[in-house]
Each structure stands twice: as structure tokens, then as C-alpha cells.
Structure 1
């Protein structure tokens, strides 16, 4: 187990924020775990420590949101996610995390900026901002699922590609979160075997993850309590704002690593 107290100064807030995200708040908080821990240890070790914690958070979130889902989203995106994980596993020795951060951050920036620009134009023209669900686009959904699986494997950063497809669908917030929880529970479970095969799990990392697990439980439940009280007209602007913050964070980190 890691005994350096400096590590826990970063790890405790990292796990707490990721737990809030897993509870349903999503956005930039989901991406901060590995970068925060990486201030004290290597990014590879940070990712290995986070994966068992993420899986426990997934189990709790699955129970909390068990009555809410949007099955069509999962049917469209999960096969692509499995393909993305396979591609990331096969190319793990060549693909840099910084390049992935820049690509995903750039796409997320354009995506969220478009939303706020259209919202601004609608309000100026005194038009009602669309609130109802929109139809699925299976090919685009499969592509975003593949990208989400790939980036999730590389640095647990599958949220932005997933939201690129799912946020514009404008499903009811609880259904949106229920589908998201199920999607990433499957994705994280699929990552276990490749992580073992790449040697990213050892006794030190697993024991360290075990110490942080109680905090993960409390933060996940707290996130669910908060998000259940948010109405749809507030939920989607909040989610888009968090994607925008996420985009700037990814771009900043990617440029800093070049």
C-alpha cells in the first residue's frame, strides 16, 4: 500500500469528486481523478488504482439508478465501446494520452460551444429552447461509443465522447443517468482483463484502492442525492457547462504534455 501522505492529499479529493460524478453529476469531475493522483504518482499507476474504485462506484450507482434506463442508447453504443477498448489495448504501447486529450477536448469544446450559441440565439429570437427527446442516430452513436471505450481505457476519460451522443438526445434526466451508469459499468468491467494483462494491477495498487473505497461509497451516494433534486431545465445546461469545463481541462492537460 502507498504510505506517502502527500499521495493521499491528492487521492482523497480525487476519489470524492469522481464519486460525486458517478452518483450522477457527471462532467469534469469524472476526469479529475487520474490527473490529481498523477501529481503524486505516475498516470499509469493512478489509472490502475482508480479502476477498482470506479467498479465499486458503478455497483452502487447501478443499485441507486436501477429503475431508470434508456436501453436503445446502450444497444447502439456498447458494441462500439467494446471495439474501442480492444483497439486501445492493442495500441497501448504507441498511443499517447496527451494526443487523446487534445482530440477529445477539441471535439467537446465545439460540441458544448454550439449548444450555448444555439441557446443564446433562441433566446434572442424569443424562441422556445427545445426540451423534448430527439431521435437516435445509430452510426454516430456507434462511433461515439468506440471513442468513449478507447478514451476510457487510456485515462478513464470516456465521459465526453459518451455525452457527445447522448446529451443532444435530451432524454429525461433520470433515464439519461441510468443509461450512463449502465454504460460505464460495462465499460469498466471490460477493462479489467486488459489491465491485468498489461500488468497494471499489483498488491500495492489494489491495497491502496481498498483504503480509498469507503470514501468512494459516500461520495457516490451524495452525488445521487444531489442530482435527484435537479429539474430537467436546469440539468441539461449544467451538464453542458461541465462538458465545457472538461474540454478546457483536457486541452490544457494535452498541450502541457507536448
Structure 2
């Protein structure tokens, strides 16, 4: 029963909301997965929130990969995944040095700059190898420290103007591999206590349902709807992260 695992009904309810929003996003519906840790951090320490979410994210990834694996672009993944691994390693090595607030502020500013460029600047073409290295590494780093790797990856991928199915399939596969790799350093840092794992387990049925709902929705979206929706969701999350980052400094 949840009251034996969570410290309050409010904590339980906020975690339910965070998992539902993240599940929709993991299914391919926008960039709202960034809200997971900030929402939960309203009622628990950010590190605890990230530790509870990671096993849930891995289960969501399994469902998403089963749905989207046929649309993953492995040429793109081969460019960015090695640098994501480097980013994870840097996050692991500096886990005690960078505050959660600073990470949120950085990711939020990057998100808003990305949306501003899309609105006011040129759309851009294919990203060069240097961009793949930089944004892949930053996606791995921010994914490790705050499960917030979405904006850096989207900055790299959205100018490619991929079909929504290819975009979603490639994104899903990137984070499935990245999140699986993150299990090792999180375990080494002692974040998977029996209490946190029990909290994660309670959320799994909701995670499965929300991920399926997100996949069902995005497969029926036209590109004219998909891309504006994704930009809007990234903008909202960016504002939230900047607000939380500044408030926490």
C-alpha cells in the first residue's frame, strides 16, 4: 500500500502525475519528460526523485522500443551515442560538484534558446559531426544528472526535419540505451535503496499505460502538428527549469 512506501499522500499523488507525464513523453508525445524530476522535487530531494524515476524510465523504454524500433535511424545513433557515454561518465565523475539548480538552469536556458532560434532564426540543415559530439555529450550529461537529456538531443535532431516516426524512433532508442547505461553509476552511487525501488515498482502499471497512450497518439499526428507541439512543450519545460534553477541558486 502506497502509504507504507511514500511519506505522504501528496508525495504519492505528485509522483503519479510525474510518471504519467513522463510516460506520455516516452511514448513520443513531446518533450515533457523533463518535468518528471522537477515535479517530484517539489515534494522530495531531487536525487531521490531521479533514483525513483530511473527504473521506471527503463521499463518505459522497453515498451517504447517495442513500438518504435523499426523507425530508429542507426546512422544518427552511431554519431551521437559514443559522446552520450562520455557525457554520462562526466556526470558520474562530477556528481558531487554540480548542484541540481545549476543543471536545471543550464538545461532550461538551452531549451529556450533552441525554441527562440526556431521561431526567429533560420531553420538550419543537417548537423555536422562537431554538433553531434557536442549535443550528444551534453544530452548524456544532462540525462545522467537530471533525466533532462531531451533538449540537447532535440537541438541536434530537429533541424534534420525527420519524419515524426523516424524522429521518435531514434529518440526512443537513444534514451533506451542511455538510461540502461545509467543504471550502473546510479547503483555505484548507492541510489537504489530498497525503499526507492519499492516506490518505483508501485508506479510501473501507470508507466506502461501512459507510454502506450503516448505512442498511440503520436503515430496519428501529422508533422504540421507534431513539430509545433514539440517546440511548445520544450518551451514550457524550459521556462519551468529556468525558474526552478534561479530559485534554487
The TM-score with structure 2 as length reference comes to 0.94
CA–CA separation in structure 2 for the residues paired with 1:63 and 1:101: 31
Q: Deviations over 1:145-192 (max 9, x none)?
A: 110111111110010111110111111110000000000001101100
CA–CA separation in structure 2 for the residues paired with 1:212 and 1:114: 37
What's the counterpart of residue 125 of structure 1? none
* Alignment counterpart, residue 179 of structure 1, candidates 166, 170, 175: 170
Q: Which SS does the other structure have where 1:12 is aligned?
A: helix
What's the counterpart of residue 90 of structure 1? 93
Q: Deviations over 1:189-218 (max 9, x none)?
A: 110010011010011010110011000000
What's the counterpart of residue 124 of structure 1? none
Report the CA distance between 1:135 and its aligned residue. 2.7
* Alignment counterpart, residue 246 of structure 2, candidates 235, 250, 255: 255
Q: Which SS does the other structure have where 1:152 is aligned?
A: helix
Q: Deviations over 1:52-86 (max 9, x none)?
A: 00000000000011211111221111011000000
* Alignment counterpart, residue 5 of structure 1, candidates 5, 9, 15: 9
Report the CA distance between 1:90 and its aligned residue. 0.5
Report the CA distance between 1:118 and its aligned residue. 4.2
How many residues are treated as equivalent by the alignment? 245
**Root-mean-square deviation (Å):** 1.5
The TM-score with structure 1 as length reference comes to 0.91
CA–CA separation in structure 2 for the residues paired with 1:204 and 1:39: 19
What's the counterpart of residue 137 of structure 1? 128
Report the CA distance between 1:117 and its aligned residue. 2.0
Flag structure 1 segments of 5+ consecutive residues without an equivalent: 120-129
* Alignment counterpart, residue 146 of structure 1, candidates 127, 137, 143: 137
Runs of 4+ in 1 over 6 A off after TM superposition: none
Q: Deviations over 1:122-151 (max 9, x none)?
A: xxxxxxxx7xx9434111111101101111
What's the counterpart of residue 19 of structure 2? 15
What's the counterpart of residue 187 of structure 2? 196
What's the counterpart of residue 198 of structure 2? 207
What pairs up with 1:43-192 in 2 under 5 angstroms? Answer: 43-118=46-121, 134-192=125-183
Larger radius of gyration: 1
Whether 2:222 is the aligned partner of 1:218: answer: no
Please identify, of 50-59 and 99-108, the stretch whose mean Cα deviation from structure 2 is larger: 99-108
CA–CA separation in structure 2 for the residues paired with 1:5 and 1:117: 44
Report the CA distance between 1:3 and its aligned residue. 5.1
